[in-house]
Amino acid sequence: MTLSRTLGLAVAAALTLIVVASPASLAGPPPGQEKDRSVEDAQAQREYDKAVRLTRSGRAQEALEHFEKALPRMNGGSDIFYNLVMVSEAAKRWDKVLLYAQGFLVLEPGSDDAAEIEQKLDIAVKRLTKAKRAPAPVTFTVDPPEARVLVESTPIASAERPTALFVPGKHTAEATLADYTPATVAFEVKAGEEPAAVALRLVKIIYEGTLAVVTEPA
């Protein structure tokens, strides 16, 4: 990790958060949209900073809401997911712990913090099962396989980790990859049913235009 996870904050229990993060997009913005993206990045950073301040004040639920507002512009890195897991646990939002822990593990499966996040994921599964909201597995098949699968702005599956857990209910998955049209699929998880399978296929974007070659006389 390039950022320290050593800030001790109290929210019903001691939390460790990333204080600084940078907005990270999946790909560079199309021509003419750089200014709009810059504004979105600045707003995301403000939401992130406010979430950290709220966490310091012991207001975990409010911090969670502001981290989530920053998430769409910061979901390319694991730091925000680490924080989301911590504040979700403090707010006892076990459905959120389930989601964001898996997002972290997709991005950082072998990091020093992965074992800690795995433990919190296990706790979330047990708490949700006790509350009769037992998570069920969903396996994603994506074409091309290097595309990223997102649910609620969270990278939920990859070629190395194709199966994810979801609470019963309706969900929407989106697969994204540079130079491909995103694919979106709605799916439903029902308690007690067989594991679900979701397939997403992206279509390659064909760029058309005229190439002008200008040469100078020798």
Per-residue model confidence as pLDDT tens digits over 124-149 = 999 999 999 999 999 999 999 999 99
What are the two backbone dihedrals, phi and then psi, of residue 10, each rounded to the nearest 5 degrees? Answer: -105, 120
Contact 195, 138 (CB under 8 A): yes
Read off the pLDDT of residues 161-187 as tens digits, 9 standing for 90 and up.
999 999 999 999 999 999 999 999 999
- Domains belonging to the chain, first-starting first, are 1-132 (1.25.40.10), 135-206 (2.60.40.1120)
pLDDT for residue 152: 98
**Of 159, 157, 155, which is closest to residue 146 (Cα–Cα)?**
159
